């Protein structure tokens, strides 16, 4: 490895579902390049590559820490090297690691404005944003930020905590320059995933961007909150979405339960039903969901399943890797506790190195939830258990048992707790248990 002034290490992580601050290694690389700093990045860095760093003799080594599976390698690097950490700041502070003191937040904007220009330098920039979700569209999908941060106060979300609930917006002309740049690199239409926390947060700005885009040139995915997207459509209508090339709208439903939604700081189920009626379904809706938030029960999972049975996506319309979200039997992301988001909730901790796509925490509310009714499995149900590598027939449970009693039953001793709660959560979503 050649010598450089600055070196960015992005430690390998089993968390491949990126967004927001998880992209900071690439944003930092782009920022340094744009101001003329001699910088290199090592993606998927592992301990076996530590000798390479010693040989590099970079003046400054920056280490990204944006997910919990990176903790152990971060601690090793801190023990044996002079490094500075960046990424999810509440976790860095909790571990008492030396933190990079950025000049100010303008470095993020400069990085956002330039990082698509360096896509060819990266191995894994696309990760969870690598396709259009809908299998009617193929080809590479590029992630593009037009803003960074979120002002909302969703109880479970680390993104708004990390940015201190402030949002940085790229000027519209820079956004359009990025889109034109990506279009120039692609024959035919270019697929773009807007990775903003809420692309519709400033409706007039969003309208200005979209009026300069054509469905002849672009296929877009955009994430928006229920409230901001509803406001945008009521003000500007559906045609601007269709004409500009927006094919899929991601919306953070999280749960079909009003009780859980209230604890999360989200809107009511009716708000999402009203949005579904408002959207012209030439533009698809994709509901992002979460399982095992504190307060989750068999009943709340029943409610989410009922919503998605009516308004969710059919699995055959989605790429295989994304069928665990927006579908009746797909559990979406699992709740995990992030430092900085509030007091640690009470429940069963399955892993201290959590990732979003495996259960790492089960709240007491679910553990104490009692099975009131068991319905017959339909043959179509087995698909959903198979999606998680499980089989409901391998689990023994009956009416009157709590989830904790099912976990502790000697009849289920050959299953892991993670498998048991996953099977029961899918069964709840499908209405197999109530």
pLDDT at 107: 93
The string of pLDDT tens digits covering residues 288-345 is 999 999 999 999 999 999 999 999 999 999 998 899 999 999 999 999 999 999 989 9
Both tokens of 151, joined, read: 């002002």
Neighbouring residues of 362: CB distance < 8 A, sequence distance ≥ 6: 292, 347, 348, 350, 403, 417, 421
Closest CA to 429 of 287, 294, 327, 313: 327
> Residue 212 — pLDDT band, cuts 50, 70, 90?
very high
pLDDT at 80: 87
> Residue 16 — pLDDT band, cuts 50, 70, 90?
confident
pLDDT at 63: 97
Both tokens of 281, joined, read: 């379904």
Mean pLDDT in residue range 390-396: 94
Domain annotation for the chain: domains and CATH numbers = 6-106 (3.40.50), 126-327 (3.80.30.20), 347-430 (no CATH)
pLDDT at 53: 76
The string of pLDDT tens digits covering residues 191-211 is 999 999 999 999 999 999 999
> Residue 410 — pLDDT band, cuts 50, 70, 90?
very high
Q: Is the pLDDT of residue 127 over 70?
A: no
pLDDT at 104: 79
The string of pLDDT tens digits covering residues 30-70 is 999 999 999 999 999 999 998 877 666 667 899 999 999 99
The string of pLDDT tens digits covering residues 359-379 is 999 999 999 999 999 998 888
Mean pLDDT in residue range 127-153: 88
């Amino acid at each position: 490895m050649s010598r450089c002034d600055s070196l960015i290490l992005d430690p390998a992580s089993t968390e491949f579902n990126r967004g927001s601050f998880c992209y900071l290694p690439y944003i930092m690389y782009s920022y340094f390049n744009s101001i003329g700093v001699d910088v290199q990045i090592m993606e998927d860095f592992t301990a076996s590559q530590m000798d390479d760093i010693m040989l590099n003799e970079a003046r400054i080594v920056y280490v990204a820490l944006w997910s919990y599976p990176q903790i152990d390698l971060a601690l090793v690097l801190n023990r044996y090297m002079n490094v500075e950490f960046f990424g999810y700041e509440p976790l860095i502070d909790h571990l008492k690691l030396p933190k990079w003191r950025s000049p100010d937040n303008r470095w993020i904007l400069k990085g956002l404005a330039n990082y698509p220009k360096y896509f060819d330098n990266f191995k894994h920039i696309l990760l969870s944003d690598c396709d259009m979700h809908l299998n009617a569209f193929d080809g590479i999908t590029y992630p593009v930020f037009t803003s960074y941060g979120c002002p909302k106060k969703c109880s479970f979300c680390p993104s708004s905590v990390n940015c201190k609930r402030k949002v940085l917006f790229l000027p519209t002309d820079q956004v359009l320059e990025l889109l034109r740049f990506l279009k120039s690199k692609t024959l035919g239409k270019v697929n773009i995933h807007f990775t903003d926390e809420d692309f519709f947060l400033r409706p007039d700005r969003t309208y200005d961007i979209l009026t300069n885009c054509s469905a002849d040139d672009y296929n877009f995915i955009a994430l928006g909150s229920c409230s901001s997207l509803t406001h945008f459509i009521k003000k500007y209508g559906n045609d601007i979405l269709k004409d500009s090339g927006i094919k899929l709208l991601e919306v953070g439903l999280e749960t079909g339960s009003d009780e859980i939604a209230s604890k999360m700081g989200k809107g009511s189920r009716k708000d999402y039903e009203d949005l579904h009626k408002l959207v012209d379904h030439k533009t698809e809706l994709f509901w992002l969901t979460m399982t095992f938030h504190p307060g989750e029960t068999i009943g709340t999972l029943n409610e989410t399943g009922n919503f998605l049975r009516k308004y969710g996506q059919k699995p055959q319309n989605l790429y295989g890797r994304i069928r665990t979200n927006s579908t009746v039997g797909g559990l979406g992301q699992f709740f995990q506790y992030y430092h900085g988001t509030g007091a640690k909730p009470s429940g069963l901790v399955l892993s201290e190195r959590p990732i979003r796509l495996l259960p790492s925490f089960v709240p007491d509310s679910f553990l104490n939830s009692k099975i009131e009714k068991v319905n017959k499995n339909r043959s179509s149900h087995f698909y959903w258990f198979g999606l998680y590598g499980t089989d409901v027939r391998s689990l023994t449970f009956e009416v009157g048992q709590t989830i904790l009693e099912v976990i502790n039953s000697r009849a289920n001793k050959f299953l892991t707790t993670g498998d048991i709660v996953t099977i029961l959560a899918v069964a709840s979503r499908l209405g197999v248990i109530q």
